[in-house]
Structure 1
Amino acid sequence: MKNLILTIALVVSSLMGFAQDTRTITVTVDNVVSNEGKVSFALHTKDTFMKAAPVATAESKIEDGKVSITFEDVAPGEYAIIALHDANENDKMDFQPNGMPKENYGTSNNVMSFGPPQYDDAKFIISDKDLDLKIRF
């Protein structure tokens, strides 16, 4: 019985220690062109960026051209974020016939270039403290 209690105490304390090693990332977009629809956010690693499902997602309704979300319990490491103004709320980016996006988007670090976003341009590191980011469309 004594060993069982000791084992449970060790498991609980290790889980509590693990939870303390996570961080939050708060992301704000303050230049959304209209209050129609929502803004969707995707948190990616190098392995998932533009290739697979994100590590985490969040979305927010728009108020006065501004949104803010928080990713919680993020392990320290290297990430990138993509944000999309999904004006028609169809949960995807819409494109013009010539391939140009119809809806605004942005990435962490706010690097805008011709062509799809690149992970190396958008990556950032979260380490020993919480992070506040601003993405511009």
Structure 2
Amino acid sequence: MKFLSSILVLIIVFTIESISAQNKTITASVVNVTSNEGRVSYALYTKDSFMKKPIKAKSSKVIQGKSTVVFKDVPVGEYAIVCYHDKNNNGKMDFQPNGMPIENYGASNNVMNFGPPQYEDAKFSIIDNNVSLEIRF
């Protein structure tokens, strides 16, 4: 009976390790922030959550015009990142009365069209390896 219990424990441990080994890391950096004031906030989305509620969100200080975050334990799949420079540290993106953004923003793949980022332009896949992205405002 002890032998069977030991084998069951080993199977569970290897299964958990295998599942966590499938999860990846996404490193996202903005390299052209115009000032060191405030923070850059990043949101990680799937197609279903895009521009709604992110599946993960982080922010980081700006040091010498660069900001970097790391999203850990991200399952293999398709994602998009949208980020903005929260220069005044108020926790939200600010807009002019006509709806134009006051603060700089960007998205994965660096496709900037007139209007908000689009999922199809910003999407990227995680398959076998961790991903590093350089985003420009």
Does the TM-score normalized on the shorter chain lie above 0.5? yes
Matches within 5 A, 1:8-87: 8-51=9-52, 53-87=53-87
Q: Secondary structure at the match of 1:36?
A: coil
Match of 1:102 in 2: 102
Root-mean-square deviation (CA, aligned residues, Å) is 1.1
Match of 2:91 in 1: 91
Displacement of 1:6 after TM fit?
A: 2.3
Match of 1:132 in 2: 132
TM-score using structure 2 length: 0.94
Aligned length: 136
TM-score using structure 1 length: 0.94
Please give the alpha-carbon distance, in whole angstroms, between the structure 1 residues aligned to 2:128 and 2:47. Answer: 20
Q: Secondary structure at the match of 2:113?
A: coil
Please give the alpha-carbon distance, in whole angstroms, between the structure 1 residues aligned to 2:62 and 2:4. Answer: 54
Q: Secondary structure at the match of 1:5?
A: helix
Moved over 3 A (4+): none
Displacement of 1:114 after TM fit?
A: 1.2
Which digits, 9 at most, give the CA deviation of each residue in 1:32-68, with x for residues without a partner? 01111000111100000012x2111111100111111
Between the aligned residues of both structures, percent identity stands at 54
Please give the alpha-carbon distance, in whole angstroms, between the structure 2 residues aligned to 1:90 and 1:104. Answer: 14
